[in-house]
Structure 1
């Protein structure tokens, strides 16, 4: 090999060694860079986890549980209510709607709603809700007079809407717990507190004799007829249908939904 060739080979070897050294340095730098990124991500992970924890509410494992010590009995009553509803209640409602003009149906609903204002007023007062009490009183006065005994609801035209409260809510307002879940025959989902409140509501309606039935010789028959008509009207206005929720766990779903609904009503 000539001197010129030897020089060229030496230069080429030096260039290759330099390139190899540069590549090694670049790989090392890249590795260090990756390690720094990983370290940075790990350092930020706790902060990200903390943010995720703050924006994602924790759901207690027992969030869907409702105290139901009488579940076997309640399930039996639930199934009875479902069969009664399908065999008797809903066919009666369909017949009522088929035979009754819409304007009469609306008048019946308004009539029973107006009678319920007495219980609403008492419970609003017991819960110290003075504004709601005043609205309820004015609704009753206006609808009983201008609304012809409550058949119409002119008070709503003036922005006075029903302030619905019951004794179950009143007991809850004063700190009485809901107690065990209970399914009442014909009435459906309830609780020990609300079942007690229901009895108190009926006691108020019975003793505040707005229709002067206590002096009527046929008062028991009239009360029974009004109670049945009220029940049909209430069922007509209730959209729920047994075994049409699409859930294989309908009993648990209804139990949970009812408890949440009542809690919201009491806390409002």
Structure 2
């Protein structure tokens, strides 16, 4: 299910954006870079280095995500937070986090990180049994730390460049490498789910599966503090693009945190 949780990287972006400008009280798409400015004025700055040949399309998608977030996604998330007790929210998050260990495990194997894969498998088994399907997280108290992995990181680990920057619908900032990784992770998740087919005996297996997936999206967005066009910075698009790119390069091991 972590294939549907790429939006989690926006937590990091939100923190950095909040430091770059005070949040505005009114949400507006006018927070974009003023027409009198051009990115060419900042060629000596690192945030101008990210390859973005489809910038016009990416900006349109960025605006679409803003409207989708404001008028559909965030109201649903707000309703979920309002009617669901905090204790239950935490149990739901634990359940999806535990499912995500399957993705972490497979990508640790793809990267030939045997000890990490064993640790992740231990987390999954422990939290699935003692933790009652991941509703609780005893594995962490046992010293089995979570290692977040995805196929985009795996591609980067083996030397694949990030490729051009992309803004995906709903998922947000990405790249050609990470978008490809998302497809692979989603296929693996779907394959595992289909093989297990936990609701195959039910007449409503499709509806149940769709509900679980939808709740997973809601739970993911519930954890993100990022809000489009609320940074108060006129260069928000470029900053989000840069910070996402840098974060992913560090996570995939292609760039050191000391650079």
Q: TM-score w.r.t. structure 1 length?
A: 0.75
Structure 2 distance, partners of 1:162, 1:123, is: 13
Unaligned runs of 5+ in 1: 1-59
The question of 1:207 aligning with 2:191 is answered yes
The question of 1:246 aligning with 2:215 is answered no
Provide the residue aligned with 1:172 in structure 2: 156
Matches within 5 A, 1:67-78: 67-78=51-62
Q: 1:136 aligns with which of 106, 115, 120?
A: 120
Provide the residue aligned with 2:147 in structure 1: 163
Structure 2 distance, partners of 1:189, 1:216, is: 37
Matches within 5 A, 1:11-90: 61=44, 63-64=46-47, 65-90=49-74
Find runs of 4+ consecutive structure 1 residues off by over 4 angstroms: none
Structure 2 distance, partners of 1:96, 1:68, is: 36
Please say which structure displays the higher CA radius of gyration.
1
Structure 1 residue 90, shift from structure 2 partner: 1.1
- SS of the equivalent of 2:188 reads helix
Structure 1 distance, partners of 2:219, 2:241, is: 24
Unaligned runs of 5+ in 2: 1-42
The question of 1:255 aligning with 2:241 is answered yes
Structure 1 distance, partners of 2:224, 2:84, is: 17
1:78-126: per-residue Cα shift (whole Å, max 9, x none)?
0000111111111111111110011110011010111111111000011
The question of 1:228 aligning with 2:228 is answered no
Provide the residue aligned with 2:16 in structure 1: none
Structure 2 distance, partners of 1:75, 1:63, is: 20
In the superposition, relative to structure 1, how do residues 162 and 96 fare at CA in structure 2: closer, same or farther (>3 Å)? same
Which of structures 1 and 2 has the larger relative contact order (alpha carbons within 8 angstroms, sep 6+)? 2
Structure 2 distance, partners of 1:207, 1:213, is: 15
Structure 1 distance, partners of 2:247, 2:202, is: 39
In the superposition, relative to structure 1, how do residues 182 and 75 fare at CA in structure 2: closer, same or farther (>3 Å)? same
Structure 1 residue 220, shift from structure 2 partner: 2.2
- Pairs aligned (count): 209
In the superposition, relative to structure 1, how do residues 102 and 118 fare at CA in structure 2: closer, same or farther (>3 Å)? same
Q: RMSD of aligned C-alpha atoms?
A: 1.5
Structure 1 distance, partners of 2:201, 2:149, is: 29
- SS of the equivalent of 1:116 reads helix
Provide the residue aligned with 1:30 in structure 2: none
1:36-56: per-residue Cα shift (whole Å, max 9, x none)?
xxxxxxxxxxxxxxxxxxxxx
Structure 2 distance, partners of 1:229, 1:159, is: 29
| Structure with greater proportional helix content | 1
Q: TM-score w.r.t. structure 2 length?
A: 0.77
